[in-house]
Amino acid sequence: MSLLDVRDLSVVFQRRGERPFTAVDEVSFSVEPGQTVGLVGESGCGKSVTSLAIMGLLPRRGNKVSGQVMFDGADLLALRPDDMRDRRGRDIGMIFQDPLSSLNPVVPIGTQVAEVLERHRGMDRKAALKEARELLDAVGIPDPNRRLKEYPHQISGGMRQRALIAIALACKPRLLIADEPTTALDVTIQAQILTLLKQLVDETGTALIMITHDLGVVAGLCDTVNVLYGGKVVERAARHELFARPRHPYTHGLLNSVPRLDSPRGERLHAIRGSVADNIPWVEGCAFAPRCDNVVDACLEGTPPLEPTATGGDLRCNNPVTEEVAVP
């Protein structure tokens, strides 16, 4: 049985006086124990909203969440808020994009790690701080005894993200959701954090949902990749399959737009035409159609279905790409 099974998850933002906006549109995917799954797409494709919906962290007002999120035999969306509160931080951990703003500026790092242990593992402050020290050590923060008493502004960005990872993994959750964990960091630090995540996930057997717009992150980490566009999954494939034979024109465009060091001098970078603003509603056809090089008449006649492919993935496209690209 899958650890996490997301079925037909939809999130509609409804603000008074505005037209409802469907941020996540019947997204389904599953995560096996210990597996690393990528959610990939550009800004506004619904990947962060998906993760917040799974965690039950969307604002209580102004949105409608439907579908099912089965975790451990229970539908997280149907849980009472207090039961969900018990699971957050204990069974599912989460890491956010900006490590500085994600830590409380007026509370010492040690307390911020210890409080999650006190909450879910019933430790007293002293035991929790001792465990917090171990955790900071495990995520590679030097001199953890000193860091326990320091405040977020006193440590570097990379260390802050390490501290957040320590917090998310403190209770040994079975699932970790990382929402663009390296976006706010320097490139050299990015690699360190990704290596650390990979190592910790391998050691503890924690399943990981990696949310990113960075295909490099996906290439180094994920077993399976879900490509999201306009709130829907447009392609799902194993990592090697996706990089070797991207079928959806959007995925293909994403891979082609990665700059490469071995390309001939003077060659122009490939870019996907237009922007998300050009999308058409899914009910009228494929949302990507206005930007697509492979567009055919069928693309403007209703939503293309998500269909299984011969290689074990899924694809939502009327006229898929057939050429192969070399892994960047």
Residues 41 to 80 in contact with other proteins, rule: CB under 8 A: 55, 57
DSSP 88: B
Rule CB under 8 A: choose which of 87, 133, 232, 316 binds other proteins.
87
Rule CB under 8 A: choose which of 14, 43, 66, 101 binds other proteins.
101
Q: Which is nearer to other proteins, 28 or 111 (CB)?
A: 111
Residue 175 makes contact with other proteins by CB under 8 A: no
237 three-state secondary structure: strand
- The C-alpha R_g of the chain, in whole angstroms, comes to 21
Alpha helices in 29-156 (DSSP H): 47-55, 81-87, 109-121, 125-138, 144-149
Residue 156 makes contact with other proteins by CB under 8 A: no
Rule CB under 8 A: choose which of 94, 166, 286, 317 binds other proteins.
94
- Of 291, 308, 307, nearest in space to 299 by CA: 291
Instruction: Please say whether the beta carbons of 130 and 73 come within 8 A.
Output: no
Residue 169 makes contact with other proteins by CB under 8 A: no
Residue 89 makes contact with other proteins by CB under 8 A: yes
Rule CB under 8 A: choose which of 105, 142, 259, 264 binds other proteins.
105
Q: Which is nearer to other proteins, 94 or 208 (CB)?
A: 94
177 three-state secondary structure: strand
The CA distance from 278 to 292, in Å, is: 11
Residues that bind other proteins (CB under 8 A): 55, 57, 85-90, 93-94, 96, 98, 101-107, 111, 115-116, 119-120, 151, 153-154, 164, 167-168
